Amino acid sequence: MWFLSLVSVVVWPWVVRLGGPGLVLLGIADNSVVPLTGSMDVLTIWLAASHRDLWPYYAVMATVGAIMGGYITYSLGRKGGKEAMERKLNKEKAEKVFHRFERLGFRTVFVSAILPPPFPMVPALLAAGALQYSRKKFVGALALGRSVRYFLVAGMGSLYGDQITAFFSRYYKPALLILIGLAVLGGILTYLQYLRARRKQHHHQEVASSSRAA
């Protein structure tokens, strides 16, 4: 609980005060292998609602942060290859992502980038890297999808600014604690999934070694 309080009292207000640069930093974190579910949308809406004339600027900064974070995750997938993807997900899920990506690479990245939470973006980022998908096409699809999403989000924040600021002024802390709690839960679940995938991989390796020895 102390961690949630620390984030809500210190970290989140600091990110809000940073404004556009805060969106870039949060975008890098949110598009990492442990995403901060919903945090980018909330911050983009809040900033656009608080400074309506600057909503295109916040949309651009959110998109820049998402592209930077997405490219880092893509690079990790490219370096680790299919094995890293299978450790991140289980083998069956990874194969489904690979199959879809081989047929519809650009569309897969674009659709994943435009969809709101709780739809996961990280599997598409890792798959693009693991399959050595073209860097230019990857960045193009990611930039297009994220820009559509964040321009819509920021535009809504600007359009409904009064209602949004009134809501956050009244329910700021409980809403923030829920958001942080979901992000922490997402990180824990991701780590547990990673451990389970590793155990399965070790088990398959042991079985294969035993078969060769026999």
pLDDT value at position 6? 42
Q: 16: exposed, middle or buried (C-beta count within 10 Å: 0-12, 13-18, 19+)?
A: middle
pLDDT value at position 41? 85
Domain-by-domain residue ranges, the chain? Answer: 2-205
**How far is C-alpha 111 from the chain's CA centre?**
13
CA distance 138 to 147: 14
Are the C-beta atoms of 72 and 31 separated by less than 8 Å?
yes
What's the pLDDT tens digit per position in 15-74? 778 888 999 998 888 887 666 667 788 889 889 988 889 999 999 999 999 999 999 989
Single pTM value for the model: 0.70
- The secondary element (H helix, E strand) that includes residue 42 is helix 39-50
CA distance 95 to 142: 22
Say which amino acid occupies 7.
V
Say which amino acid occupies 60.
V
Confidence of residue 133 (pLDDT cuts 50, 70, 90): confident
Say which amino acid occupies 181.
G
Are the C-beta atoms of 93 and 200 separated by less than 8 Å?
no
What's the pLDDT tens digit per position in 3-17? 444 444 456 677 778
Q: What is the mean pLDDT of residues 161-178?
A: 66
> Of 39, 27, 109, 23, whose CA–CA distance to 74 is shortest?
109
